[in-house]
Structure 1
Amino acid sequence: MTIVRIAAAASPRIDAPVRDRAIDLVRTLCIAGVVVLHAMMVGVAVTDAGPSFVNASDGTWWIVPLSWLLQVMPLFFVMGGFSGATALRRARRRGRDGIDFVGGRIHRLLLPALVTIATVGALLALLTAAGVPAELVALAGFRFAQPLWFLGVFLVCQALLPALLRLHESAPVRTITILAAAAGVVDLVRLSTGVDAYGFLNLAFVWLALQQLGFFLADGRIDALSRRLRVMVAAAATAALAISFVAGVHSPDLVANINPPTTALLFVGIAHTALFSLLRGRLEGLAERPAPARLIEAVTPRAMTVYLWHMPVLLCLAGLTAVGAMITALPLPGIDGPWWWLSRPAWLALALAATAVVAWPLARIEAVASPRSTRSAWRLGLATGAGTAAVALLLVSGTNVLTAAAAAALLVAALRLARAPQPWARRSRTADPSIIRGSRPRTCPHLPLG
């Protein structure tokens, strides 16, 4: 009944502003939350056998409340649905279509990923050449690849966004209900069989359902609901999540519910979306203040760069910490001990600052203008598949010099497939008129990577 009221609350808000400051503020806070969460998981120790790098959250009490506070991935996909629907509708008014949208998204996501993966592959080669033990190099490659699942899944969701937005505009309730129900069925099969592999089907259903929820937010339908109903929705989603923990359906560690994704993330996304809608006016006011506004302006154009580079930065900081401890012979605080906790504020500040320093110049890559997209839907489908395959390769096989090179090759292929053929390529069989006339040859147009 609530879903029906959401669908009927308002007509789509097509004339949304170019930038939504509240959305930008929340996205900025989400990016910072991801860096903080992963930084808290970095554990470094030095023993007689050498340096050791572990997940500091394994078996700890604090990961559960921290995951409740910083599990922002469902909200990321809701915001992605909001931003994508808003951008695509604006493009339609300018005479563009879903083909252009998908081509632009492929370029915006995969070009910075190509640079990051190629650089990490080169760094791993340098570590190997420097004599770093193979197991430490392999661990660094494994840790780097872990957050990349987001890139692959988000790429697929955005590639499907034009088609799913059309379904939303014709049958909003039916579409999101089917996706959410499919996610529930996958959870049921996984739990009844005990085979976790079935849960990876929810890489599609859970995240697509959350993206679909973002369409309702873009329509203005959620904001149009009464304040009381939105409070009830947030409370009901939170209560359902808590009941699922008590019943043993879902782990209370929300980080664990990502691998594989579970319907717990749907409850998180619904609660966060309702709370965002309730606080939207205040968030807009906060976003207009000088300090938050400067933060938004710094992070928004660098969001993907920050996400891609924060893990390499954390790995470098962990390595430098171990090297410094071995050189100075100073002991490192025991993981999860009192001194370790006292050092966390400084560690988190260092992680955020170092990530910002690295992301600032590298964001130029993210800002490279998207070239004209191919008009071929099948080429865009192949490009999406190649980009997803690159991520899957690193996740399944781990990141090393060879897999990084193979993934980079797949990303280059994806970027080339997504762009429109260059005009000079279609004229390559005919002689250049300027040469026939004996004049100076014209400069060959630049061939952009994307």
Structure 2
Amino acid sequence: MPRPPVVPHRRGMVDIAPRQTTTAAPFGGRASMARTSTDAIARTTTGAPTPSRAPRRELPVIGGARDIAIDTTRSILLVIVVALHAFMVGVSLDVNGTPLLENAMEHWSGWPVLTWFAQVMPLFFVLGGFASYTQYSRLRARGTTASAYISSRLVRLLIPAGAAIAAVTVFLAVLTVTGVSPDVIATAGFRISQPFWFLAVYIGVTALVPAMVWLHERNTTLSLLTLALGAVVVDIVRVATDIPAIGLLNLAFVWLFAQQLGFALADGTLDRLGVRAQRVIGVGAVATLALTMLTGFYPTDLYAALNPPMAALVLLGIAQTMLFLQLRAGLRRFGALPGIARVTCWIGDRSMTIYSWHMLVTIAIAGALIIAPFSLPTPVSLDWWLTRPLWFVAVGFAVFLVASLAGRLERRRVTAPAGRVATVAATLLAIAGVVATLIIGSVGAVWVIATAAVALALALVARRAPREISSR
């Protein structure tokens, strides 16, 4: 049976599921697929089948093989996110010489169209669900408990993110001490905080992986439909009551749906639909999304559908996932190229570092431009557009340098499993700290509180593991 191209196992990236294990057949015959269920193992050791109480859906057994398409796509999506955030930063001086730090896209009429191609967060969460499903199923097969899995994931997420939050705290303090305008400092804190919504949500959905996998095993279709319907109901109630805060409930429904769709991608459920059905579903999702926009129920700007998240992102996530399935074979060939594979592994080893630090790096460069001895172009003017290539190169190089240094924190970290109470407390503390920056990130003192909250969360779950435990 043909297998997808593989690359050597690397930290930070997720193994493919399911892995097909073969054993050689005698006399040169075809290899036979080795079964991984408990019954098969029992037959091997005892020669007789072990009675089973009830049929159970088998989870993938993960090994060292990798799905290059998943790894490559995740790296591409991260690059798109960094580039888009850099694209949005507008820095200039007004007629009075006062520094302006703003969202440049607020002045560009082409932005809503661009979001149809640049709003990649739904697929980001789908592929994150694939990663979580394969990792958790592998660790569970080894006897890892749910709390141990969650605590290890918290450490992996919070070390680079916590370092970035602490760096923002120092950055804002330096601006204050050096006499920078309070308005500029507040704007900088606000702009830097915005991408951290992803961290807060990702911590939450990651903490729910064991429970959501349990639901997925019982009824994949029902769990997906329930989450999707929940997102739609929230939108209807939000519009009917004109209470925007109700939409915050979709932080759970929308992103858990995307993660759950990633589970279905990982266990082969979506592959079994067939190419034709995948295309019909994808086209149907796009058509439905376009129709809801024409009626005015959802905005044409898909970034406006992000805060709070709307069910439009459920439709977008379905469409993006079906498109990924159509391109998967080509992505495997592309990702297998030696140069691309090296870049993918480098990004994968530092993915959370890149995401957590890129906005701080971008704002710092923008701040340096304010005091530079040359005039700055007005956002979305002709001169501004002409300088964008140089701006992207500068941001990309700076992010590369920071990720190369700070990325060491993200790798080769080993933790002993924390208890259930400590894990729950750490999860809530981390989310609270990050959410605080999102709500009032313009206040420097809040970043101090967030740093302390994340540090305490890490203290609850991060422990040095015994030497014999492998860091892999």
Q: 1:368 to 1:15 in 2, by over 3 A?
A: closer
In the TM superposition, residue 419 of structure 1 has moved relative to its aligned partner by 4.1
| Matched residues, number | 409
In the TM superposition, residue 193 of structure 1 has moved relative to its aligned partner by 1.3
Match for 2:173 among 116, 120, 125? 125
Q: 1:369 to 1:192 in 2, by over 3 A?
A: same
Q: Per the alignment, in what secondary structure is the counterpart of residue 58 of structure 1?
A: helix
**Equivalent residue for 2:406?**
362
Matched, 1:348 2:392: yes
Report which of the two has the higher share of helix.
1
**Equivalent residue for 1:15?**
61
Match for 1:144 among 186, 192, 202? 192
User: Does the Cα contact within 8 Å between 1:110 and 1:411 map onto a contact in 2?
Assistant: yes
Match for 2:249 among 201, 216, 241? 201
Q: Per the alignment, in what secondary structure is the counterpart of residue 176 of structure 1?
A: helix
User: Does the Cα contact within 8 Å between 2:101 and 2:188 map onto a contact in 1?
Assistant: no
In the TM superposition, residue 59 of structure 1 has moved relative to its aligned partner by 4.1
Unmatched runs of 5 consecutive residues or more in structure 2: 1-56, 468-472
Q: 1:32 to 1:422 in 2, by over 3 A?
A: closer
Distance 1:223 1:339 in 2: 48
**Equivalent residue for 2:221?**
173
Q: Per the alignment, in what secondary structure is the counterpart of residue 249 of structure 1?
A: coil
Match for 2:380 among 332, 336, 342? 336
Distance 1:308 1:419 in 2: 19
Q: Per the alignment, in what secondary structure is the counterpart of residue 353 of structure 2?
A: helix
Matched, 1:43 2:43: no
Residue deviations 1:379-431, cap 9 Å, x none?
211111000000111111215442112111111221122246999xxxxxxxx
Distance 2:63 2:235 in 1: 38
**Equivalent residue for 2:415?**
371
Given the two structures, how large is their TM-score scaled by the length of structure 2? 0.84
**Equivalent residue for 1:413?**
456
Distance 2:158 2:278 in 1: 37
User: Does the Cα contact within 8 Å between 1:128 and 1:137 map onto a contact in 2?
Assistant: yes
In the TM superposition, residue 321 of structure 1 has moved relative to its aligned partner by 1.4
**AA in 2 matched with 1:285:** R
Distance 1:207 1:403 in 2: 26
Q: 1:28 to 1:346 in 2, by over 3 A?
A: same
**Equivalent residue for 1:8?**
none
User: Does the Cα contact within 8 Å between 2:283 and 2:319 map onto a contact in 1?
Assistant: yes
Distance 1:160 1:217 in 2: 18
Q: Per the alignment, in what secondary structure is the counterpart of residue 100 of structure 2?
A: strand
Matches within 5 A, 1:221-236: 221-236=269-284
In the TM superposition, residue 353 of structure 1 has moved relative to its aligned partner by 1.7
User: Does the Cα contact within 8 Å between 1:121 and 1:399 map onto a contact in 2?
Assistant: no
Distance 2:381 2:462 in 1: 53
Given the two structures, how large is their TM-score scaled by the length of structure 1? 0.88
Distance 1:174 1:370 in 2: 37
Residue deviations 1:103-143, cap 9 Å, x none?
11100111111111111111111111111011111111111
Percent identical residues? 39
Matched, 1:272 2:320: yes
Unmatched runs of 5 consecutive residues or more in structure 1: 1-10, 424-444, 446-450
In the TM superposition, residue 94 of structure 1 has moved relative to its aligned partner by 1.9
Q: Per the alignment, in what secondary structure is the counterpart of residue 99 of structure 2?
A: strand
Matches within 5 A, 1:20-169: 20-47=67-94, 48-169=96-217
Matched, 1:299 2:347: yes
Distance 1:275 1:408 in 2: 39
